[in-house]
Amino acid sequence: MNDTAAVFAAVFVTLFVAHSVGDHWVQSSCQAATKGLPGRTGRLACGRHVLGLTTTKGLLLAPAVLALDLPVTALGLVLGLGIDAASHYWADRRTTLKRLADRCGKAEFYSLGTPAHAGHPVTAKGEYAPTLGTGAYALDQAFHTLFLFIAALIIAAL
């Protein structure tokens, strides 16, 4: 494995872990509930979430870069984290990702696990049973992982 491949692997793993921490532990409940709302309230909540998420990624990347002596550049870090942040904001406004899912023929999967889906989970009484395992969440996380991959490539290559 060459140095660039090793840097890519280390950066991707670090970004993947940082993404999970930032998206689930750092994001506030208020941000999660309001980041998809229309208007200023939603935009600000989403912006605050992405700021916290990107900060988390930077805070986890710093010790990895130092401890592993990774040859990364400021330009690579700024471009990689910037593209990741912009893509995360775009997807987390929710209507944008839903439109993409609709256009890709994934509307039914997007609604999986919600009352809108014909096969939604139910209780023994036949009432809707809430779940965290939704198609929207799966598509959201897959989209974010794609951009973690792209960010790691940029950071490793520049």
Ranges of each domain in the chain: 3-157
Average pLDDT of the residues in 11-32: 97
Q: What is the pLDDT of residue 108?
A: 87
Backbone angles phi, psi at 127, to 5 degrees: -90, 160
Q: Is the pLDDT of residue 1 over 80?
A: no
Amino acid at position 134, single letter: T
Q: What is the pLDDT of residue 3?
A: 93
Q: Are 64 and 142 in contact (CB under 8 A)?
A: no
Q: Is the pLDDT of residue 2 over 80?
A: no
Backbone angles phi, psi at 6, to 5 degrees: -65, -40
Which tens digit of pLDDT belongs to each residue from 136-154?
Answer: 899 999 999 999 999 999 9
pTM higher than 0.75: yes
Q: What is the pLDDT of residue 113?
A: 75
Q: How far is the C-alpha of 64 from the C-alpha of 74, rounded, in Å?
A: 15
Q: How far is the C-alpha of 138 from the C-alpha of 132, rounded, in Å?
A: 10
CA 72, 156, 15, 37 dihedral sign is positive
Q: Are 48 and 94 in contact (CB under 8 A)?
A: no
Q: How far is the C-alpha of 11 from the C-alpha of 6, rounded, in Å?
A: 8
Q: Are 7 and 155 in contact (CB under 8 A)?
A: yes
Which tens digit of pLDDT belongs to each residue from 92-132?
Answer: 999 999 999 999 999 988 888 777 766 667 777 877 666 66
Which tens digit of pLDDT belongs to each residue from 31-83?
Answer: 999 999 999 999 999 999 999 999 999 999 999 999 999 999 999 999 999 99
Q: Is the pLDDT of residue 22 over 70?
A: yes
Residue with tokens 């040859």: 71
